[in-house]
Structure 1
Amino acid sequence: MSLVPGDVVRAAAVGSLAVGIVALGGVAGALFLLVLGGVLVPRFLGLPTALDLCFGSSLLLAAWASQLGWYEAVPWLDLLVHAVCTGLVAAVGVIIMVRGQALEAGALPGRARVGLAATTMGVGALSAIVWELGEWVGHTYLDEGIDVGYTDTIADLAFGLFGAMLTGVVLAVRDPAWRLGRDA
């Protein structure tokens, strides 16, 4: 396998894991281990370069923003990250479904495009819920410093759903090349 631009992000994730474990502690190490697992997905799937870079970079940014206190310093950043990351996770999830033939990969007529957008939004909604459950588990069992609460959770879910909705629209109107994993 030859190197691709996303491998720079993956190398940064490996470095972040080392820093997390050695300098920041076990919770940070676990977070960066999750990020490393996430940034490997596009590589194994051979996703388009732009999606690979955006997906991996957003996961890495989300983790570092948490560790460096950026969410407290810039309150709207948390919502932006939830929108962007959830949208990108939804895109990758839908591509996995297409490649696994759980969704049709051919040319899509109008109604099928609406279905694709709705499916993307559903995948994003599910990933947003899992993310929030992860935050709650982290807060409850690992580190009370992880910000949870009704308002935070609802806002995170709303912005995640918004990001997934935008992604669904983009995937539904875009050329079918994304479904085949080619750079377009």
Structure 2
Amino acid sequence: MIDNLLRPPRTPAEFVADALRVVGLLGIVVAALVFEPTDAGILAAALPFLLVPRLLGTTAWFDIVSTTVILVAAWSNVIDLYTTLVGWDLIVHFVCTGVLTALTYLALVRAEVVPGRGDPGFRTRIPMTLSPAIGLALSALWEMVEWFGHAVITPTISVGYDDTIGDMAAGGLGALVAGALVASVALERTDTTIAAPARPGR
């Protein structure tokens, strides 16, 4: 995976994906100067996630989608879209949890925990079954972070029973869509090999 991280961009789409990561880095500086320190902290917390698609060797288009969604989710906090735009919270939870679920599944493939699409042991039902569980787990963690932010950092972060259940439901649905995507579309580059679990006699 380090090779993927250090690999220079080779196509216009890969340059765009890396440019978005630079935007994410510069956004921290802008937030620190223009907004509150907590806003800069939110963007800084999102920065490592922008590197995950590159580490995993995803296709350029999915890299662009992933980084864009993560940036939108982080900046929505900074400019208060979650509280000012009705339904935006659910949309972001649906889309962002779906993206993070797909990335998590690819990471599990890299770790040889589950088979990838190119492995003989791969079955469509594997990501379709596992992805909702991953998404709900990520949604629960997301809600814990929101609660911590509300309790410790700023009470302006919206929390509550209805909010939590709605967010987790949206995240679970997004993860289900991500499972279908993982099962049917190649999300890794063709010039990178996701290691498959060893089989006896190979």
TM > 0.5: yes
Secondary structure of 1:75's counterpart equals coil
**C-alpha spacing 1:182/1:124, structure 2 compared with 1 (3 Å):** farther
**Cα displacement string for residues 85-123 of structure 1 (whole angstroms, at most 9, x for unaligned residues):** 0000000000010111110121456xx321221111111
Task: Indicate whether 1:170 and 2:170 are aligned.
Answer: no
Q: Which amino acid aligns with 2:50?
A: V
Query: For residue 8 of structure 2, what is the aligned residue in structure 1?
Result: 2
Query: 1:26-105 to 2 correspondence within 5 Å?
Result: 26-105=37-116
The runs of 4+ residues in structure 1 deviating greater than 4 Å are none
Give ranges in structure 1 of 5+ residues lacking alignment. none
Tell me if the contact between 1:87 and 1:165 (Cα under 8 Å) persists in the aligned partners: yes
Q: Which amino acid aligns with 2:8?
A: S
**C-alpha spacing 1:116/1:108, structure 2 compared with 1 (3 Å):** farther
Question: 1 or 2, which has the higher helix percentage?
Answer: 1
Aligned residues: 178
State the identity as a percent: 28
**Cα displacement string for residues 7-32 of structure 1 (whole angstroms, at most 9, x for unaligned residues):** 11101101111112222222111110
Task: Indicate whether 1:141 and 2:147 are aligned.
Answer: no
**Cα displacement string for residues 19-62 of structure 1 (whole angstroms, at most 9, x for unaligned residues):** 12222222111110111111011122221111111111111111
Query: For residue 182 of structure 1, what is the aligned residue in structure 2?
Result: 190
**Cα displacement string for residues 133-157 of structure 1 (whole angstroms, at most 9, x for unaligned residues):** 0000000000100111111111000
Tell me if the contact between 1:117 and 1:165 (Cα under 8 Å) persists in the aligned partners: yes
* Root mean square deviation of aligned Cα: 1.6
Q: Distance in 1 between matches of 2:132 and 2:150?
A: 27
